[in-house]
Structure 1
Amino acid sequence: MLALLRQVNRDLGVTIVLITHELDVIRSVTDRVAVLDRGRVVESGSAYDVFARPKSEAAAQFVRTALRDRPSPETLARLRARHSGRLITVRIRDHEGFSTRLARTFLDHGVAADIVFGGISELQERPFGSLTFELTGADSSVDAAVAALRADGAELTEEET
């Protein structure tokens, strides 16, 4: 059914309005989305822009629920019990060379970065999601790596318990 809707849209130029709570439907059919909260449009734009960088709490909540790319408080507590390093969650973005710069930043600062949680999906043939890293090394090196990531425009959260 979704393939047929996409074909009708593409071949006939017909705009289709579809209401869904399913990320897989959005992923396979949409170009643009509008996010509703209590009957009001709170955010709209390209599907990638809205879900990869949500501006509204409603869109952010949808992404967290659908993608499950960030640790819940319970999962974070379990990660904390198993990992003694600093935990940070980095939003993965579709910028050329971002993943290479991310890895290079850790190497340049002598910081070991182990992925301990995350999820990356694809929307409009572009990656989006988050990865949670355990960073280990000298405190000053970890601080410098985090500062360098922020200076490079990385969206990251330091995970506190």
Structure 2
Amino acid sequence: MSDPIITFDHVVKEFKVRGHAGGLARAVNDVSLTINRGDIFGIIGYSGAGKSTLVRLINALERPTSGSVHVLDTDITSLSEAKLRPIRQKIGMIFQQFNLFSTKTVAQNIAYPLQLDHWRKDYQDRRVAELLEFVGLSEHADKYPSQLSGGQKQRVGIARALATNPEILLADEATSALDPETTTEVLALLKRVNKEFGITIVLITHQMNVVQQIADRVAVMSAGRVVESGDVYDVFAAPQQPVTKRFIATALSGLPEENRVERLHGEWPGRIVTVLIRQKDVSDEHGRKVPASGQNISGLIAKHGIASNLLYGGIDTVRGSAIGAITYEFAGDDAQVDTFLAELAEHSDVIDFGTARHPVSYADAVSGYAPAEHVTVNDRHVDGNDGHHTSETTEGAQA
């Protein structure tokens, strides 16, 4: 049974902007959203989508212009600073640029919120030692931030955020400054935080692969609105909105990037088509079932006698279920290929990039496909481990 820990109810946040038409800019526009206790919840969007403003409403660093925000069973919308203090003590925060004190040691940085909270010195020392061990930095306790790598600095930031035993952890672009390997390590640590301490984590990010690796649920923001939300696999596997589809394109294994499609057009004269692979049926945000995709490609190729070449592809797992994409060149009589693709699109999500002579723009192809409307007749199981990239990438093979 769901247990809401954060609820936005028709929240609007406006800022005064000099020179702006009307004098106001709306950063958050009528957002209603529920985050359940124990979730790892991703909020994604491009720069300027309103993500960071939304997260600042959770700890009341910003107040809504209208609507209400409930945190930990309390309406914090208009609480005084004095009454907000016990709520804020239960909320930790980690930042993109770490926000560490350069003149304090690692141990002193972690102890800082405990000092503000007036913990006894022996309790402070014990808690800092526990957290240093948890984040794997015990041997670095007396070092300064300048002596640490980016990943180590973020581990200090996480330890500091956990110091006062929060119930909610807000991570605002916490991995944006890190390389991919370090990002994976930091996300694994955050997953441990969630699993071992039961802390609800809200991830604010523009990196879809971050959400893919650890989130349970996700909301997609655009121009201040939540345009799509739901289980992370469902949103990944069957995105409904163009902005979500563009995000998926940046993270989905096997979906070729724009310059690769251009190169494929230069090398192969036929129709370049990507078929999305979705292992299981999912439900969209309105509860409608979206069927599995890409399960009967070979049978349809044989049925229609289409010449095909497998050019590129890959499979990942999201929350233990397979998702990916396979790109083909299909060749033959135009009418024959059109008939084949029409039937394929009844059972699978098809992204048609056209031919070299008649290409379809990348943005239109990626954002314009529609999920198939009928349930597939075959099921194919692909093994994978929850939360791990198990990409099986192929290129240049014959189908």
Instruction: Give the TM-score normalised by the residue count of structure 2.
Output: 0.36
> Distance between the aligned counterparts of 1:2 and 1:142, measured in 2?
44
For 2:271, the equivalent position in structure 1 comes to: 86
One-letter code of the match for 2:349?
E
For 2:85, the equivalent position in structure 1 comes to: none
Matched, 1:156 2:389: no
Mean CA deviation greater in 3-12 or 80-89: 3-12
For 2:325, the equivalent position in structure 1 comes to: 130
The offset of 1:66, in angstroms, is 3.0
The offset of 1:106, in angstroms, is 0.8
For 1:106, the equivalent position in structure 2 comes to: 301
Q: Deviations over 1:21-51 (max 9, x none)?
A: 3334223321101112233322110111112
Computing the radius of gyration from Cα coordinates, the structure with the larger value is 2
Contact 2:315 2:322 in 1 (8 A): yes
For 2:220, the equivalent position in structure 1 comes to: 35
Instruction: Give the TM-score normalised by the residue count of structure 1.
Output: 0.79
The offset of 1:100, in angstroms, is 4.7
- Residue 239 of structure 2 aligns to a residue whose secondary structure is coil
For 1:147, the equivalent position in structure 2 comes to: 342
Q: Deviations over 1:122-157 (max 9, x none)?
A: 2112222332210124445433322321232x1113
> Distance between the aligned counterparts of 2:320 and 2:256, measured in 1?
21
Distance 1:71 1:22, change over 3 A: closer
Distance 1:77 1:17, change over 3 A: closer
Distance 1:159 1:46, change over 3 A: same
Q: 1:120 aligns with which of 292, 305, 315?
A: 315
Q: 2:247 aligns with which of 50, 54, 62?
A: 62
Distance 1:77 1:53, change over 3 A: same
Contact 2:275 2:326 in 1 (8 A): yes
Q: Deviations over 1:99-124 (max 9, x none)?
A: 55111111222223212234433211
Matched, 1:20 2:205: yes
Which is helix-richer, 1 or 2?
Answer: 1
Distance 1:23 1:122, change over 3 A: farther
- Residue 17 of structure 1 aligns to a residue whose secondary structure is strand
Distance 1:78 1:25, change over 3 A: closer
> Distance between the aligned counterparts of 1:20 and 1:159, measured in 2?
29
Distance 1:158 1:61, change over 3 A: closer
Greater RCO structure (CA 8 Å; 6+ sep): 1
Structure 2 spans left out of the alignment, 5+ residues: 1-185, 282-291, 360-399
- Residue 90 of structure 1 aligns to a residue whose secondary structure is strand
One-letter code of the match for 1:36?
M
> Distance between the aligned counterparts of 2:195 and 2:232, measured in 1?
17
> Distance between the aligned counterparts of 1:43 and 1:145, measured in 2?
32
> Distance between the aligned counterparts of 1:46 and 1:116, measured in 2?
31
Distance 1:46 1:118, change over 3 A: same
- Residue 84 of structure 1 aligns to a residue whose secondary structure is coil
Contact 2:307 2:332 in 1 (8 A): yes
Contact 1:71 1:118 in 2 (8 A): no
The offset of 1:89, in angstroms, is 1.9
Structure 1 spans left out of the alignment, 5+ residues: none
CA-based RMSD: 2.6
